[in-house]
Structure 1
Amino acid sequence: MSDFRRAFSGAPWEAKVGYCRAVRAGPHVWVTGTVALNDDGSVHAPGDAGAQAARCFEIIGKALESVGAGLSDVVRTRMFVTDISRWEEIGAAHGAVFRDHPPATTMVEVSRFIGPDFLVEIEADAFVAEG
């Protein structure tokens, strides 16, 4: 019997590729790379990297909540972006979420994502302290 808790967002790639949005094992939570999808499956805010990053954090927050964690438990983020020159708008979205509990983070430029309108993809790791 496994002690893993899993969360799914309903993104079309989860079933096709065989992954979930988040996995929790004990106090540790890993949230997979998250792009800015609207609930209907469309790309959120095409062309707006800051709004896409903010949407990624909304999706990540929901995944964390579904396994008994929250954004304040995040200890590490990884932001993959298609244009590093837009770091300030993406960073501002990160800062709006984590200003009071900053995690370790990385931002790396990549050539592209699974869809051409995605500008950012974000991963998060969390640790849920006892008590």
Structure 2
Amino acid sequence: MSTQRITTDEAPRNDNPYSQGVRAGDALYVSGFGPVDPETGTDVEGDVRAQTERVLDNVAAVVSEAGGDGLDDVVKVTVYLADLDDYDRVNEAYGAAFAGDPPARACVEVSRLPDDVRVEMDAVAYLG
């Protein structure tokens, strides 16, 4: 099976050695994104809810670039939190973004995230 690297200016880009997304058949694997504004290259200001909204926008941009319908095609998400005390606020933004049938999900607390952001997510989408 061949793979296709997915790249978009609508999600943050950096010089680290990974792709924003990789499509393998009907599956799209979206790399982990923090709350970076792709226009400015800086972390969004605000609380963890605002950061969560930006993260989900970044994931949706990669899915859309691959030919999908944004978050509607996401089937699995992993949420990485710097502090599980943020769990409820993250769920508020997450629930609003995935109204209806939310994807499968795992959520873990990690010791630290790049740039000391509060939340990061990666995802798998089905584009069939």
Confirm or deny a common fold (TM above 0.5).
yes
Query: Residue 67 of structure 1 corresponds to which residue in structure 2?
Result: 66
Paired-residue identity, % = 30
Secondary structure of 1:45's counterpart equals coil
What is the CA distance between 1:101 and its match in structure 2? 2.4
Query: Residue 93 of structure 1 corresponds to which residue in structure 2?
Result: 93
What is the CA distance between 1:92 and its match in structure 2? 1.0
Counterpart residue type for residue 54 of structure 1:
E
Query: Residue 106 of structure 1 corresponds to which residue in structure 2?
Result: 106
The structure 1 segments of at least 4 consecutive aligned residues displaced by more than 6 Å after TM superposition are: none
- Ranges in structure 1 where 5+ consecutive residues have no aligned partner: none
TM-score, normalising length from structure 2?
0.89
Residues 20-99 of structure 1: pairs in structure 2 closer than 5 A: 20-38=19-37, 39-46=39-46, 48-70=47-69, 71-99=71-99
What is the CA distance between 1:25 and its match in structure 2? 1.5
- Ranges in structure 2 where 5+ consecutive residues have no aligned partner: none
Change (3 A) 1:107 1:3: closer
Q: Is the 8 A contact 2:80 2:120 kept in 1?
A: yes
What is the CA distance between 1:18 and its match in structure 2? 1.4
Counterpart residue type for residue 30 of structure 1:
Y
Aligned length: 124
What is the CA distance between 1:5 and its match in structure 2? 4.1
